[in-house]
Amino acid sequence: MSQMDSSTVAGSPEQLREAMVGKLLNEKAVRSAAVEGAFRAVPRDRFAPEATLEAAYAIDVVITKRDERGLAVSSVSAPNIQALMLEQADLKPGMRVLEIGSGGYNAALIAEIVGPEGTVTTLDIDPFVTERAKSCLLDAGYEQVHVVLGDGSAGCPGFAPFDRIIVTVGAWDIPPAWVDQLSEDGLLVVPLRMRGLTRSLALRRTGLVLVSESAEVCGFVRMQGSDAHEERLVQLAPGEVGLRIDEMQPVDADLLDGVLDTPRVSLWTGVTVGRGEPFDSLYLWTASVLAGHCFMSVDPSTDTGRTIPANKLACPAVVDGASFAYLGLRRISEDGEPPTFEFGAHGHGPDAGRLVEALTAQVQVWNLEHRHGPDPVFTVQPVEAPAELLPSGSAVITKRHRRITISWQ
């Protein structure tokens, strides 16, 4: 069989790539001709040699490196997430682009869009990752991409300024270098973690201020280097139930010792949701307005039923002193009817009643005012910005370098 004939064989890279692009178009992850053209042009399998062809072109992540605990520390991101961020970046021919967090494939997609007049630099802190990316890019014919080894927190001053900076690792803060190296009116696209939630923000620069133009739900492996930030885990039932504290909150773990042994307090809201109906804006709303917001996680393999969260892996919760409350969800439809669930809250500790009331009240506010409304606007300013210069908003989240205001309309 000739080479031309082999390219049409079912399961060939070309057919799998076309099928992947079709799926991305159907789910509207790809929305522009430029991004569509890039996905059609770049052979994803050349950047995932560890995977089968089917896995390389699946709408899924390809893990390329794990740490000593088996956790992913580097990957080729899922193509729908890559498409989402490329659409957010609004790339144009001739642009200068920095990618922080390398893998090779996304840099090749960027290179296709910015064209021969553009410049693409991809940077990573891990020499294994940069050497792998360099090899894959050369193999696929993208030798024009600059691959740089370095701490992403410092950016890449040697190739700055950039029209676009695209961060492909989960960031907890926005280091000064990213703003300094971004052109005036440039866009920073970054998966930013705020009180345990990650949103891919497209942030437009005006002076030292960044203002969001879009926000998308996403997930990434966490950033390493000088601006790495780990969640704190407060164990409520060791090996079973814990609270994930993401911000610099003064939670006293000793006060919560034995809290699950206290009676459970529950309250329901009358707010309902159908199976498969999205409600990710609820999590963002509770994170915005509730002091002491965190997430509760329950290990399904050791779950004894001491808690009944709406989501075992990441359930919105609020903690205050020796008490905490978390979001609940119960089925209220009869057997045979379409599944319908009601939101509520459960709490433990001496002040559980107040926390449960606070959480359920905010579920009701979300339902009335924000459930079908627009996304909030995220404004990012230097941490030393005077309070009077911060925009009015539901939340001000203080990081190491930046203050982030979440303003709901």
Beta carbons of 180 and 107 less than 8 angstroms apart: no
262: its two tokens: 């206290």
**Which among 265, 230, 225 has a CA at the least distance from the CA of 244?**
230
Give the pairing of strands 395-398 and 209-217: unpaired
E strands present in 263-320: 265-274, 293-298, 315-320
Could you tell me if 59 and 193 are in contact, meaning their C-beta atoms sit under 8 angstroms apart? Answer: no
Indicate which residue of 74, 75, 77, 212 is catalytic.
Answer: 77
- Token pair 């002040």 is found at 351
Helix spans in 200-322 (H): 280-289
In degrees to the nearest 10, what's the CA dihedral of 89, 95, 100, 106?
70
Unique residue bearing structure tokens 């064989």: 9
Cα-flanking dihedrals φ and ψ of residue 82, to 5°?
-60, -40
**153 is annotated as an active-site residue:** no
The CA distances from residue 232 to 175, 248, 255, 301, in Å, are: 21, 9, 16, 21
Q: How many residues does the chain have?
A: 409
Residues labelled as active-site residues: 77
